[in-house]
Amino acid sequence: MPQVYRTLRVAPTDNGVLSVVIDAPPMNLIGPELVRDLVRLLGALESGEETRVMVLESADPEYFVPHVDLTKVAEYTAEAAKAGGPEDASLGMLWHKLSELPVVTIAKIRGRARGAGSELALACDMRFAARENAILGQIEVGCGALPGAGGVQHLARLMGRGQAMEAILGSDDFGAELAERYGWINRALPDAELDAFVARLARRVASFPADAVRSAKRLLNELTMPGPDAIRADARRFRQLVVSDAAQDRTAALFAHGLQTRGPLELDLGDRLGTL
């Protein structure tokens, strides 16, 4: 029986490519419903038998995934635990499971991918973004915490120490061109060319012998991926910091200015963190 999703539009395209569109109004926050659907999706993809490549994108042109729903942390954490058990009840370990799929995963980014939304994209094997409108950011330090779902691990490996320090400690927004230059994404492409480029690449990879693709991905993961213990340690530290007085005060101030509503604060969150 096909899976039924509330926050994802899932459709096979052709030749082993699966299209997954995040559609979780009002702005694709990571909450329990989205996490529940992602757990189901990853479970369906674990065999990698029918799907060779998955392309992940957003139905919302302004928001890929802006960040977690800070009012529902316990709820989405409980849903994430269903993918790996109570010991791995974190988004970081769920995103790690995404990285380990036999399926090749491509994030196609339009709009804002911040916090755990950026980390979701980082867990994918490749990332391509629209030059005109994609924005990436790790906002956690500016909110009094740290990236707890793989952001530290991935960005340090992709960018190197100094640039990862800038991205994580600065908590600022990165446009697509700068994100490309720093290694956050593979390429920044004109919005009008993004769909065709990603579709061609996905079909191309899906057309190659499956064993060769899976073996190459597995070897590259062994060379470049953080281990699960590092992901778990980051998740524990995030949980400690996010309940601190400093983080609670910063978060309360952000909610007072419109956090988690469509408006100026969320659109320019990286910049606004520096003036809070």
Residues annotated as catalytic are 119, 140
Q: Residue 39 corresponds to which amino acid?
A: V
Distance separating alpha carbons of residues 268 and 276, to the nearest angstrom: 12
Cβ pair 29, 62 in contact under 8 A: no
CA atoms within 13 A on the CB side of 256: 7
216's CB contacts (< 8 A; 6+ apart) are none
Question: What residues does 18 pair with on adjacent strands?
Answer: 12, 54
- Give me the phi and psi of 178, to 5 degrees please: -70, -40
**Residue indicated by tokens 């927004």:** 173
Q: Using DSSP, how many helices (H) and how many strands (E) does the chain show?
A: 13, 10
Query: Which tokens is 134 given?
Result: 């994609």
Distance separating alpha carbons of residues 105 and 123, to the nearest angstrom: 9
User: Mapping DSSP to helix (H, G, I), strand (E, B) and coil, where does residue 50 land?
Assistant: coil
Question: Which alpha helices (H) appear in 61-209, and where do they start and end?
Answer: 73-84, 91-99, 116-123, 151-159, 161-170, 176-182, 191-207
